Structure 1
């Protein structure tokens, strides 16, 4: 529960600082740079070498990829129909296709389903969301952000994304037996800065009083992330014969709030940062109610 309190507190501190403390103009971009370039790779380097994957858990991983692919298909189609900009389509795909399956997901899963549920949640997070952030997320950010979309330029952006490089390095380190205790502790301490700094940065830019033109994308985006995506995963899982705790954790991870790092990626590529941050902040607050409701339904 303390982890959830930390999320709300850091978000609130950012809101208060923006309103009363007159922070430097470049503070939020500087914090975002640290999160994406330093803290996120450190977290990946810490966690990936520890991960042991059971082939029977494949649906946990694939479900997170399907949530992202579904968001891309949905918002690309809706965006064309509603006349949205490419930046808006990209922002919605990132923040509503990638879930906060670790910083919100881990404490929620442990509270709702215990340590056994948390262990399954780690698989969905590390091999599902983190990989999709490093591959699909960067791909969407580059293409919809207006950068050079030549195959070579896109491939270079993806392959040089710090979290993707950390993912590859983490796999190698895991095969070699893991990090020495001192290195593991250093990575843990650096990675631990991600959540407070990222949410403080989001709070600096968060505006809960949305413009009229933002209400529809916020509603559609969170409608997918908090309601429709978990419902789709429940239907697919049931059709494939999944059941019990495996299906429950799959659905709960699909129902988690938008991913913090995805909102920062949208910010760095100028994909409607105000909209992305609003969806993130509102989504985190709403998920504290909707995820327990999903758990109640599944139980």
Structure 2
């Protein structure tokens, strides 16, 4: 219970710090860089070499791919049927199709299910969400916008992104049965402990809510898909057909039910795909997800 309270406290602290003039305007960028270049690589090296690789892990990883594929199918169909602007269709596909499986997902998964669950969440994020946001999401953005992105640029971005590079290293360590040096463990433990406060303060600093725009039907269509429909699809599919249970099922559904990914909204904004809606999906989605996640938690209990 204390962990859940701390999550809310750090998120609210980040939102409050938006109003403090003494805080540097680019503090969120600094915190994000620390998470990307330090914390996420450390988490990969700390947890992934210990993961017992088995076929069942394919299902949790598949949730991220399923979420984006279904988002593309549904909003792509609706966009053509209802004659939406391409920018609106692209925005909903990308932002609603990607879950915040790391900055929000890791702290919540750890608080709800413990350290073992973080290993599963890391696989979902690195082998699922990150690859999608760095490649397919950029391709979708190019399709629905005027700008174009070269395949070479996309490949380079994936291969040189530190968390993904360390994901590959950590998985090789797993296969080769290598461990991190014991002397590094206390340092890794300390860095890993900074994940929750730093990530949630950073998210809070970036949450923007335009109260005048919350009546947009497209906002609620996107959030309805992200927070309710796709986790329901995963829950029904994984319990009814694949008979998944235990921690694998819980982490799969909870990570799928996370709010839209901030990076996904940035991609939409940078390609001029309804920037206001993209920001709103994240700004409203993150605080609202705390309510819907509590519902999913009790469904899975």
Could you tell me which residue of structure 2 aligns to residue 159 of structure 1? 159
SS at match of 1:82: coil
Closer, same or farther: CA 74–30 of 1 in aligned 2, 3 Å: farther
Distance 2:100 2:13 in 1: 27
Distance 2:64 2:267 in 1: 23
**Structure 1 residue 101: Cα displacement:** 3.9
Distance 2:298 2:6 in 1: 24
Q: Is the 8 A contact 2:62 2:128 kept in 1?
A: no
**Structure 1 residue 179: Cα displacement:** 0.5
Could you tell me which residue of structure 2 aligns to residue 114 of structure 1? none
* Mapping of residues 115-154 of structure 1, within 5 Å: 119=116, 121-122=117-118, 124-140=120-136, 142-143=138-139, 144=141, 149-154=149-154
Distance 2:113 2:124 in 1: 16
**Structure 1 residue 213: Cα displacement:** 7.1
The gaps in structure 1 that reach 5 residues or longer are 111-117
The TM-score, its normalising length taken from structure 2, stands at 0.78
**Structure 1 residue 228: Cα displacement:** 0.4
* Mapping of residues 161-180 of structure 1, within 5 Å: 161-174=161-174, 175-180=176-181
Distance 1:79 1:46 in 2: 43
Distance 1:273 1:3 in 2: 33
**Structure 1 residue 241: Cα displacement:** 4.4
SS at match of 1:131: helix
Distance 1:273 1:167 in 2: 31
Could you tell me which residue of structure 2 aligns to residue 115 of structure 1? none
Please provide the CA RMSD for this pair.
3.4
- Which of 286, 291, 294 lines up with 2:293 in the alignment? 291
**Structure 1 residue 52: Cα displacement:** 1.1
Could you tell me which residue of structure 1 aligns to residue 108 of structure 2? 104
- Cα deviations by residue, 1:196-216 (Å, 9 ceiling, x for unpaired): 223222322323343427743
Give the total of aligned pairs: 289
- Cα deviations by residue, 1:53-74 (Å, 9 ceiling, x for unpaired): 2324532332333123323433
The gaps in structure 2 that reach 5 residues or longer are none
- Cα deviations by residue, 1:149-190 (Å, 9 ceiling, x for unpaired): 222121111111111101011112232321012223323333
- Cα deviations by residue, 1:213-252 (Å, 9 ceiling, x for unpaired): 7743432232122210122113322452415436852663
Q: Is the 8 A contact 1:234 1:247 kept in 2?
A: no
The TM-score, its normalising length taken from structure 1, stands at 0.78
The question of 1:263 aligning with 2:262 is answered: yes
Distance 2:79 2:215 in 1: 13
Q: Is the 8 A contact 2:14 2:203 kept in 1?
A: yes
